[in-house]
Chains A and B, each alone.
Chain A
Amino acid sequence: MRYAESGYNLEIDLATGNIEKVETDPKLMELHLGGLGTDVKIHYDRVPPETQAFDPENLLIFSAGLLCGTPTFSANRMLVTTISPQTGLLCYPMAGGFWASELKYAGYDKVIMRNKSPKLVYIYINNDKVEIRDATHLKGKGALEVQDLIREELNEPDAQVSAIGLAGENRCFVASIEQSKSSASRGGAGAVMGDKNVKAIAVRGTKDIYLADGLEFMKQLKILADWIDHRNHNPLPNKNIMTIHCGVGSPQAMKVIDESWHTQGFAWGNSRRRRKTFWNDAINKQWTEVQEKATKRFISCFNCPQQCGALITHEDTPRYMAKCFSKLSYMFAAEIDEQGFNWKILEPAFQYGFDSFSTPQILAMGVELRKDGIFTDEDWEGCPSDIAGTFFWLLDKMARREGRVGDLLADGCYGACQRLGLPEGKYDHNNIKKHEQMCVKLGMMDPLYYLMYSTNEKVSITQMEGNWPQEPFREMADREEFVKDWPHLPDEKFKKYFLDWEPRGEFANPFYPTKEISAELVDWMELLHNIDDALGICCGMGSFCLKPAYHIHNYCNFINAATGLNLDEAGLRKIVNRSRNLHRALQNRRGLRRKDEAPPKDHWKHRFPEYEYELLSYYYNFKGWNMDAIPTRKRLEELDLGYVADDLEKRGILKDDPDLIYVPNDNVSREESSIYLQDGQSDFYIPDDHVSRKEG
């Protein structure tokens, strides 16, 4: 009997319509757990490195995490892996909702699709019955509305549906996959789904998921429930922490109205300028009225007691569901102060199926290109004169790839600028690895964020940060109070790191946390995200949360009771590091090198190029990677990945080059330099704020 996992994948050849139910090797769980871990393994083994996003050989995998479908609170993540049309790397957008658990109840851990369907179809999985059904009548339907249409068509009200909208059908590089209130957004998996001509996957399951030791599992879950209940009734004090991060769960943007932190700390427009005096009583009053009226009910994902999403009913806008930072992203980009605009534009944005982080920034860049005359009168014909109207118009053009404007912007900031022959970074300045980032522009270089931005495989900072406060507390008494009740830390010495961390002076950014401490902290936070992504646990309950429900000391309790494995922390670390290094090797095979690993040049005003180089070098070495960001043979063999080392060597990627060995440089220059502000970027607004450096 298989515990926690179903032990079967669905393999679908979209070109021939062949569907197979394939039993998986139980050993894979021991080696990679599930979710992201086993997905990476499949991609490494089966997708040649030369395969591009829209090649038939590119796999599109919908995966449930290892603990999805078990009673594990918040284990509801649907993880989609594929080669991103934007970055050319393996992307793994995730969504909560209800789909992943339903897939497990239908008897599968993953749906693996290859090749392309000759016409638009949707897939219907009902336990052992799996059909590829015609979807030509659903062409152009919204990613939300089509979920209900399919349920009605199937006469199966309990089916869970993941779907794309027009953006996915038209292969927009930032197309999302929508499921209930959730979106699998980052990296453009929706475009690959559209390219494969799959409109949706509907699933209904009525089978059992087994636990190896159910009584022990529920005992552990009870301890967890008590912690969640305690944290719900005792949020962290918001004196030093932004209110949306004081509880457990995803950031509570739907509940919290005071957005002084985001609106004054983040950058508006095409991530160009901050508005440090934005928030005032009038704004507070207007936003309170609008938000309270718009949020009809707070809602959750499957088997999660938290309420991070909301049902939105704003004026005559059709109803939809929203979550997290999407509440603000379009307003920021359009530089519109009225909150109602965001509630209005989110509805078509979700129906089209667009990533709420990237898309607003692309639209803002479009407006800049128009201002600078790169988009002409002819391109802009029919566009309303006001900025709100412009954004709606651009969104629609982009979803349809209509006209020169729509077709260019649909390739994202980097893609559009490349096609226009513009110098890289002039307009598409807020990218990492060709992917749009959170609209943050800050003062002082932060070593933790430097490493996270540079190296995280998601290319999205929220999938790396979370367990460590974003800034030091000013008063020692507050720090002492905070570390008192912090069992989540991997080591007691981390408490000292936090106590020592100052807003200014010797123990402040950019040189504190030191490179040694930064490496430990970043590696720990990355590990937590990778555990969550393998188990299918929402990072709001674990890796992206201060003092969360799940942490390094209790994951094994759930994994062991659920699966029958006998893991300790070291064992868990080894498994997750194995998958993480396999992931890195996969990206290396696709061309990723050190030159690609850097935050946007204008991310911070105060930069220290030589120190940053040393910081990253130290971190690579800490991870067991060489100076070109590639895992060494030694590291790979430690993780039973000798076959990967062989492969990388055979391909000439991993070389025995003494220049790639780390040589510590403790006398590195700590000079500040403005080299990052050259190359035509001097006209950017750069905030002059040493202290405020909160990230997201």
Chain B
Amino acid sequence: MATIKKKIRTIKINADLCNGCRTCEVVCSAGHATPRFSSNNPARARIHVITHRLENIFLPVFAGENTPAQCMGREKYVIDGKEYDECSFCKASCSARGRFIEPDSGLPLRCDMCEGEEQPLCVEWCLNKVLTLEEREEEVEEEVKLGEMELGLQSLVDKHGLEKLVDTIARMSQKS
């Protein structure tokens, strides 16, 4: 299979510089509003700054994949004498907590790195350079892109199994 060059975007988070202002949350939610910038609401942001000011914990975390089930166990990190809450470093939107879940619909939120923009809004508006963008190119194998129907069928296969799907289609085609 042919290889292509892919741009990898990484947001470097220097939590030591964070002053806990949450501008990143504000602009993220505003940038993802429809129409763009028509409203803002940090509860809709794809980034959240976990803060425990007196414990000196200022930790920006980005929304990752949704997870359908909670973890079986939990971890708590202690770094430099600071104890972080359970799940602090986890990016998932998850039923274990209210984070990265749309307040109205309950649907999961995920950071899209402001795709199509020169840089993510949170990076652009963080004047203290807590968040900086790093880009690099990697050679990756070219993926065969699935068409719309293939994607739909694939999700049915994932859910019901290939055999059942084939049987169903065969049965439906006989009826019609």
Instruction: Report whether A218 and B37 are in contact in the complex, using a CB–CB cutoff of 8 Å.
Output: yes
- Interface presence of B64 (CB below 8 A): no
Query: Which residues B81-138 have CB closer than 8 A to chain A?
Result: 85, 103, 125-128
Instruction: Report whether A304 and B21 are in contact in the complex, using a CB–CB cutoff of 8 Å.
Output: yes
- Interface presence of A547 (CB below 8 A): no
Instruction: Report whether B127 and A299 are in contact in the complex, using a CB–CB cutoff of 8 Å.
Output: no
- Interface presence of A475 (CB below 8 A): no
- Interface presence of A66 (CB below 8 A): no
How far is B56's CA from A307's CA once the two chains are assembled, in angstroms?
14
How far is B128's CA from A105's CA once the two chains are assembled, in angstroms?
25
Residue of B nearest to A297 (CB): B56
Instruction: Report whether B38 and A299 are in contact in the complex, using a CB–CB cutoff of 8 Å.
Output: no
Instruction: Report whether A206 and B41 are in contact in the complex, using a CB–CB cutoff of 8 Å.
Output: yes
Instruction: Report whether B127 and A311 are in contact in the complex, using a CB–CB cutoff of 8 Å.
Output: no
Residue of A nearest to B99 (CB): A158
Residue of B nearest to A217 (CB): B37
Instruction: Report whether A211 and B54 are in contact in the complex, using a CB–CB cutoff of 8 Å.
Output: no
Mark A293-322 against chain B: 1 for CB-CB distance below 8 A, else 0.
000111111111101000100000001110
Residue in B30, B41, B127 whose beta carbon sits within 8 Å of that of A214 in the complex: B30
Instruction: Report whether A206 and B43 are in contact in the complex, using a CB–CB cutoff of 8 Å.
Output: yes
Residue in A180, A206, A302 whose beta carbon sits within 8 Å of that of B53 in the complex: A180
Instruction: Report whether B20 and A299 are in contact in the complex, using a CB–CB cutoff of 8 Å.
Output: yes
Residue in B21, B38, B43, B85 whose beta carbon sits within 8 Å of that of A305 in the complex: B21
Q: What's the minimum C-beta distance from A351 to chain B, rounded to whole angstroms?
A: 12
- Interface presence of A208 (CB below 8 A): yes
Instruction: Report whether A229 and B127 are in contact in the complex, using a CB–CB cutoff of 8 Å.
Output: yes
Q: What's the minimum C-beta distance from B119 to chain A, rounded to whole angstroms?
A: 13
User: Contacts A71-B30, A218-B30, A303-B26 known; A232 to B127 CB distance under 8 Å?
Assistant: yes
Residue of A nearest to B21 (CB): A300
Instruction: Report whether B38 and A296 are in contact in the complex, using a CB–CB cutoff of 8 Å.
Output: no
Instruction: Report whether A211 and B56 are in contact in the complex, using a CB–CB cutoff of 8 Å.
Output: no
Instruction: Report whether B58 and A297 are in contact in the complex, using a CB–CB cutoff of 8 Å.
Output: yes
Residue of B nearest to A207 (CB): B41
Q: How large is the interface on B (under 10, 10 to 19, 20 to 34, 35 or more residues)?
A: 20 to 34
Contacts of A279 in B (CB 8 A): none
Residue of B nearest to A148 (CB): B54
Residue in B19, B20, B40 whose beta carbon sits within 8 Å of that of A209 in the complex: B40
Query: Which residues A224-245 have CB closer than 8 A to chain B?
Result: 225, 228-229, 232
Instruction: Report whether A320 and B54 are in contact in the complex, using a CB–CB cutoff of 8 Å.
Output: yes
- Interface presence of B159 (CB below 8 A): no
Contacts of A301 in B (CB 8 A): 21
How far is B127's CA from A211's CA once the two chains are assembled, in angstroms?
23
How far is B27's CA from A548's CA once the two chains are assembled, in angstroms?
22
Contacts of B127 in A (CB 8 A): 225, 228-229, 232, 305
Instruction: Report whether B103 and A206 are in contact in the complex, using a CB–CB cutoff of 8 Å.
Output: yes
Instruction: Report whether B33 and A214 are in contact in the complex, using a CB–CB cutoff of 8 Å.
Output: yes
Instruction: Report whether A300 and B20 are in contact in the complex, using a CB–CB cutoff of 8 Å.
Output: yes
Instruction: Report whether A208 and B39 are in contact in the complex, using a CB–CB cutoff of 8 Å.
Output: yes
Instruction: Report whether A207 and B38 are in contact in the complex, using a CB–CB cutoff of 8 Å.
Output: no
Contacts of A304 in B (CB 8 A): 21, 23
Mark A96-110 against chain B: 1 for CB-CB distance below 8 A, else 0.
001000000100000
Q: What's the minimum C-beta distance from A483 to chain B, rounded to whole angstroms?
A: 27
How far is B61's CA from A329's CA once the two chains are assembled, in angstroms?
38
Contacts of B43 in A (CB 8 A): 105, 205-207
Contacts of A144 in B (CB 8 A): 54
Q: What's the minimum C-beta distance from B116 to chain A, rounded to whole angstroms?
A: 16
Residue of B nearest to A313 (CB): B56
- Interface presence of A577 (CB below 8 A): no
How far is B9's CA from A502's CA once the two chains are assembled, in angstroms?
57
Residue of A nearest to B50 (CB): A157
- Interface presence of B74 (CB below 8 A): no
Contacts of B37 in A (CB 8 A): 71, 211, 214-215, 217-218
Contacts beyond the supplied A71-B40, A214-B30, A215-B36: 4 A-B pairs with Cβ under 8 Å: A208-B39, A211-B37, A299-B19, A303-B21
Sampled A-B contacts (22; CB under 8 Å):
A71-B27, A71-B37, A205-B43, A206-B103, A207-B103, A208-B40, A208-B41, A209-B39, A214-B30, A214-B36, A214-B37, A218-B37, A228-B127, A232-B127, A297-B19, A297-B56, A299-B53, A301-B21, A302-B21, A303-B23, A311-B56, A321-B54
Closest CB pairs A-B (n = 5): A214-B37, A206-B43, A206-B103, A305-B127, A208-B39
